[in-house]
Amino acid sequence: MVGRDKMTMRAVFLDKQTFSSNITFAAIEQQVSKLTCYANTARKQVFERCKDADIIITNKVVLTAELLAKLPKLTLICIAATGYNNVDIAAATRLNIAITNVSGYAGQSVAQYVFAQILEYYQQTCHHNANTEQGNWQQSDAFCYHGKTITELAGKTLGIIGYGSLGQAVAKLADAFGMNILISERVDSAEIRQGRVSFEQVITQADILSLHCPQTAATENLISAKVFTKMKPTAMLINTARGALVNSTDLLSALKTKQIAYAVLDVLEQEPPPADHPLLNAKLINLKITAHIAWASSEAQQRLIDLLSENIAAFKNEERLNRLDIVS
């Protein structure tokens, strides 16, 4: 089998700023004749930057059917993420453009983030540090100063929605803490696979509900008012998947009325979010929001780049590694 010539492969990276400055792109550079990187790319800039490219690398920049039809030189789209809702897969396939994504790179990073948030909530680490910084312990009549309640994770029920590599990594840590783990079947599924339970059982029994499923038509607004009314009032929600899985308006109401106890969001339905986003301006003590960084340990970022290079190498050798394009 004759592979593709590296010297003909010109690549553009449309949103390099999604990676930290300490990440090296050497592995990709070794696979192509030229790599041009842009910090960010606005919609009106995409065509001009891609018109001579053989390979487009994108994390979140949208590639529409209309755009792809104007790029006859394009042979490969490398999505620098697991989710692929920013690329018209069907259109790319019709145009004989290969598409790849990456997965399995962020399991340790996401699981560490999830448990950092869980432990902060149940252990109240910052609160107890503050008790010493503010002199409360020093003024105590007892040998310890209790402050807010500390609760053990052992015996708590963790509900996981989405059981790919990320959900599995979270479950592994939960098991080490002695937690009960419930893996959700797909919503409204007629059959429940071995090792899983119904979505209804997960949302009603979970002390902590952690989301790791992709954003699809079936999962948008998956967690809404209907779900919040069925969750425990002591439950904690963590979303490190996609913002659109959770209805922000319904979550705001559920937190204000104490339908659930606490929520941690690493994602929102629009990113970056507008300054007037209702959740960002809610100033609730039972809501914590971070800037889509659960995946972003230095190690995970570098693994992702290295996996992109492997996808390009496989494509050049006419191998189907992590391909998303439809084969008839």
- Mapped onto helix, strand or coil, the DSSP state of residue 102 is coil
Q: What is the set of active-site residues?
A: 242, 271, 292
Cβ neighbours around 27 below 10 Å, total: 16
Q: Give, to the nearest 10 degrees, the angle between helix 107-123 and helix 298-316.
A: 160
Q: Is 178 exposed, middle or buried (0-12, 13-18, 19+ CB in 10 A)?
A: exposed
Beta bridge partners of 182: 159
Q: Give burial (CB, 10 Å; 0-12/13-18/19+) of 213.
A: buried
**The two structure tokens encoding residue 272:** 């970056």
A 10 A CB-CB count for 220 gives: 15
Q: Please, are residues 83 and 107 in contact by the beta-carbon 8 Å criterion? A: no
3-state secondary structure string across 207-225: CEEEECCCCCCCCCCCECH
